[in-house]
Amino acid sequence: MFLEPHFKGQRSGWIEVICGSMFSGKTEELIRRLKRAKIANQKVEIFKPKMDTRYDEAKVVSHDANSILSSPVDTSEKILDLAEGVDVIGIDEAQFFDGNLPEVCQQLALKGIRVIVAGLDMDFKGQPFGPMPALLAVSEYITKVHAICQHCGNLATHSYRLIAESDQVVLGEKETYEPRCRTCYHMGNILNLKT
């Protein structure tokens, strides 16, 4: 089916993904892009998972304490309901959303909306996290940000869990996680297996 008449005169939308380990500046970069869109007089809406209440119930807050007001939602489908008349949508902590998030983002982009998504690309086991792999596959732009390894000073790509908890989702900060490079991450896991 040819859809050109439906899209005639509509600007193009797209999906941007900001990914990396914990403490790499993902949320900081998301906030920076959203504030620039607001300066450009674009209508911006920001969403985060309702379960993420680490810093604030309603704000998206970076580890550096920069913040921007958001709408906490239970499911990705609710983003579609709240996206009317919006130019730019920001989504933080995308790894905590359901598997429909990539489809929701694609629907928004087809409506001409710029969608900026930030999230962990890997969980504490070094495995792809939630809907992030599918988002990376369908996005037009990908920015991978890095933290600094707490042990050797190299670029960190992994989120190393410091506590003995096996659930995939454990909300926490510096007392629970630290960024590590590939080598220090794997060495830490080997040492943990021996103890």
The domain ranges of the chain are 4-145
- Tens-digit pLDDT profile for the chain (195 aa)? 333 334 444 468 999 999 999 999 999 999 999 999 999 999 999 999 887 655 555 555 555 556 567 789 999 999 999 998 999 999 999 999 999 999 999 999 999 999 999 999 999 999 999 999 999 999 999 999 999 999 999 999 999 999 887 788 776 677 789 999 999 999 987 666 554
- Would you state the structure tokens that stand for residue 88, as one six-digit string? 């730019």
Q: Judge whether 4 counts as a catalytic residue.
A: no
Give the pLDDT of residue 163: 87
CA-CA-CA-CA torsion sign (174, 52, 24, 156): positive
- List strand residue ranges (DSSP E) for the chain, in order: 14-20, 44-49, 59-61, 67-69, 71-73, 88-91, 114-120, 141-145, 147-148, 155-156, 158-161, 177-180
Q: What is the CATH number of domain 4-145?
A: 3.40.50.300
* C-alpha to C-alpha distance for 30 and 92, rounded to whole angstroms: 8
The active-site residue, picked from 45, 93, 140, 175, is 93
Query: What count of other Cβ atoms lies within 10 Å of the Cβ of residue 118?
Result: 29
Give the pLDDT of residue 1: 32
Annotate 48-73 with b (16+ C-beta within 10 A) or e (fewer). bbeebeeeeeebbbbbeeeebebebb
Give the pLDDT of residue 94: 96
What stretches of 40-100 show up as alpha helix (H) in DSSP? 77-81
Prediction pTM value: 0.85
Give the pLDDT of residue 192: 62
Give the pLDDT of residue 147: 96
* C-alpha to C-alpha distance for 185 and 13, rounded to whole angstroms: 37
